[in-house]
């Protein structure tokens, strides 16, 4: 990592995410960890997505995460008949409220985490999933509430 990125907002966020996941999995008995950014608001059935995600991660080694976000369900797609009960698969890391297992975290990320990814921790994750995929809902179960910040969308 170039020295110019160390200490940048992206590097600090990356360090925070890595530490949060490390500490979550250091908790005795923790098999899964869910990361929810502080400016996200969750739908009432938010945890249903992750209950299904746990079951899928347990039985499908080609998955590494479950996410509450769908990048493609915005205003431009309002005429599409999105289903509340449907999950989809993607090779792209959706982020924005996501969960992984301790097993996948240790195999894919814990030892190789980039201290200062030049384009953000989520971009780094997308490039290092070992070909595994994520499940996500057709209808997002989170939304951003903040209007500013270092990487707000």
Asked which of 100-104, 108-112, 134-138 is least confident by mean pLDDT, the reply is: 108-112
pLDDT of residue 9: 83
Q: How many CB atoms lie within 10 A of CB 43?
A: 17
73 vs 2 pLDDT, higher one: 73
User: What's the Cα-to-Cα distance from 145 to each of 12, 96, 97, 136, 150, rounded to whole Å?
Assistant: 21, 12, 13, 20, 14
Dihedral sign from CA coordinates of 94, 9, 104, 50? negative
Diameter of the chain by CA atoms? 47
pTM, two decimals, is: 0.85
Using DSSP, state whether 127 is helix, strand or coil: coil
Residue 122 annotated among the catalytic residues of the structure:
yes
Backbone φ and ψ of 23, nearest 5°: -70, -40
Say how far apart CA 151 and CA 33 lie, in whole Å.
22
pLDDT digits (tens, 9 = 90+) for 44-94: 999 999 999 999 999 999 999 999 998 887 665 677 777 888 899 999 999
Which of 38, 39, 71, 122 does the annotation list as catalytic? Answer: 122
Residues 6+ apart with CB under 8 A from 12: none
């Amino acid at each position: 990592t170039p020295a110019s990125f160390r200490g940048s907002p992206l590097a600090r966020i990356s360090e925070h995410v890595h530490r949060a996941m490390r500490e979550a999995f250091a908790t005795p008995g923790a098999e899964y960890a869910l990361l929810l950014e502080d400016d996200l608001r969750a739908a009432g059935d938010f945890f249903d997505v992750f209950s299904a995600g746990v079951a899928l991660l347990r039985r499908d080694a080609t998955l590494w995460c479950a996410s509450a976000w769908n990048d493609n369900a915005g205003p431009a797609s309002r005429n599409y008949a999105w289903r509340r009960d449907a999950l989809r698969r993607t090779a792209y890391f959706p982020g924005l409220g996501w969960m992984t297992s301790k097993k996948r975290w240790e195999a894919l990320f814990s030892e190789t985490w980039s201290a200062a990814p030049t384009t953000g921790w989520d971009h780094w994750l997308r490039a290092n999933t070992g070909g595994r995929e994520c499940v996500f809902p057709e209808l997002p179960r989170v939304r951003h509430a903040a209007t500013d910040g270092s990487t707000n969308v």
